[in-house]
Structure 1
Amino acid sequence: MSGAICATVATGVLRVTIDRAEKRNALSRALLAELREAFERHAGDETLGVAVLTAAGERNFAAGGDLGDLATIRTREGAVEMAQQARAALDAVRRFPVPVVAALNGVALGGGAELALACDLRIAAAHAGIGFVQGQLNISTAWGGGIDLMRLLGSARALAVLGRGAVLGAEEARSLGLVDAVAAGGERFEDFVARFIAPLARQAPQVMRAFKAQALAERLGAPRAEREAIEARLFSVAWVHEDHWAAVDRLLARPR
């Protein structure tokens, strides 16, 4: 293991940090394996209501795949195997049972952009950016990011983003719908992240799991009947939970 992933839990929030600033937080195979292990290890923690994925430093969220590592792969079979392993790591993020917020402390490029889109929500520092720059290396997306991009933007706009290969600034990314919120100038990024996730963290964990399950079913293209069944099942679980009745009792106890 590379030791480049740090995962901590506090007050119902999982925080996963890519800690490889000296390499621009580039994504090696070892790092991706650690990332997958971190999310899979915490998936069963029912105290969690939200997760944050961010990176060390102020310049790079993830500057794509680690070319020093990936350049050793010279066969189609090796490329397929690498892509499958990387996609499995990003799928651990996509399928995590509570919402995952990508906190873009800097630029997310190539595979880093795919990782950002694997998350449910994205927030960004004012100087951050996101770029599907794979075309600069004469390759296409491979870790599920192209699929995510087309789901978010539609095929035409996604094709334009992929074909341009430009690094989008935080505000342009927000205008397209790739980023959900951008920190105001002068606001500490950590304060901005805390402010953004606070409403999510206040929700009961089982409620956030229910919301994420519905979002994941839509993301995976589940039939409407299946999504309705998921919604009904999770609603019934929440209805009989003690947290629901405690909230009802508080409302009923209010003076009228």
Structure 2
Amino acid sequence: MLFANQRLPLISVSLVQGKAIGGGAEICTACDFRLMTEESEIRFVHKHMGIVPGWGGASRLIQIIGPRQALKLLSSAQGIHPEHALSIGLADDILSSTADKAMEEAQTWISSYTKGPAETIRAIKKVVTSGREHALVDSLRKEKDIFGTVWGGPVHLQALSKVLKRN
């Protein structure tokens, strides 16, 4: 499983091959996107251990799939297979590759979201993180501030130049 936190400045993805159980399920929720191979499973087994998620997995799960679905997954401790995970929004895609090719397929999948100037991708990630973590009025203010960091910058000016040349 690849892991990167949602608070990182760039886009992160988890690739579930096999079983992501307990803490592994929590780690999945910390990424921006979740990809699963056909034979994989995510399972929040905390109930069977007499505990609840403690690494932020429950709170993030609620944000990702909503409180009703999160209650079902946490209180049932059932395994979530790729098709179900996709249908409730826990997974973003199911990869059809064999285990040895899944990483390559995942890199191809994520590349459409990460292609482009790192400065712009970081700014997009900041705007989304702010919108997720702050009240609307604070998020709007933060978005304006982030916009100011890229407006008129080298990447923006280069993009404008290309558009003007085409017209």
Which has a greater percent of helix? 2
Q: Partner amino acid for 2:84? A: E
CA contact (8 A) 2:11 2:125 kept: yes
Q: Which residue of 1 aligns with 2:58?
A: 146
Gaps spanning 5+ residues in structure 2: where?
none
* Offset at residue 210 of structure 1 (A): 1.6
Specify the SS of the correspondent of 2:5.
Answer: helix
The correspondence for 1:248, drawn from 143, 155, 160, is: 160
Q: Return the alpha-carbon distance in structure 2 between the equivalents of residues 234 and 218 of structure 1.
A: 12
Deviations 1:89-145 (A, max 9, x none): xxx823211121112122211111001101111111111111111112121111111
The correspondence for 2:124, drawn from 207, 211, 214, is: 211
TM superposition score normalised by structure 1: 0.60
Higher relative contact order (CA 8 A, sep 6+): 2
The correspondence for 1:125, drawn from 31, 37, 40, is: 37
Q: Which residue of 2 aligns with 1:200?
A: 113
Matched length: 166
Q: CA RMSD in A?
A: 1.9
CA contact (8 A) 1:121 1:179 kept: yes
Specify the SS of the correspondent of 1:253.
Answer: helix
Q: Return the alpha-carbon distance in structure 1 between the equivalents of residues 65 and 22 of structure 2.
A: 17
Counterpart mapping for 1:75-154 below 5 A: 93-154=5-66
CA contact (8 A) 2:97 2:105 kept: no
Gaps spanning 5+ residues in structure 1: where?
1-17, 19-52, 55-91
Of all paired residues, the percent bearing the same amino acid is: 28
* Residue 163, structure 1, aligned to residue 65, structure 2: no
Q: Which residue of 2 aligns with 1:6?
A: none
* Offset at residue 186 of structure 1 (A): 5.4
TM superposition score normalised by structure 2: 0.90
Q: Return the alpha-carbon distance in structure 2 between the equivalents of residues 162 and 128 of structure 1.
A: 18
* Offset at residue 237 of structure 1 (A): 1.7
Q: Return the alpha-carbon distance in structure 2 between the equivalents of residues 242 and 185 of structure 1.
A: 39
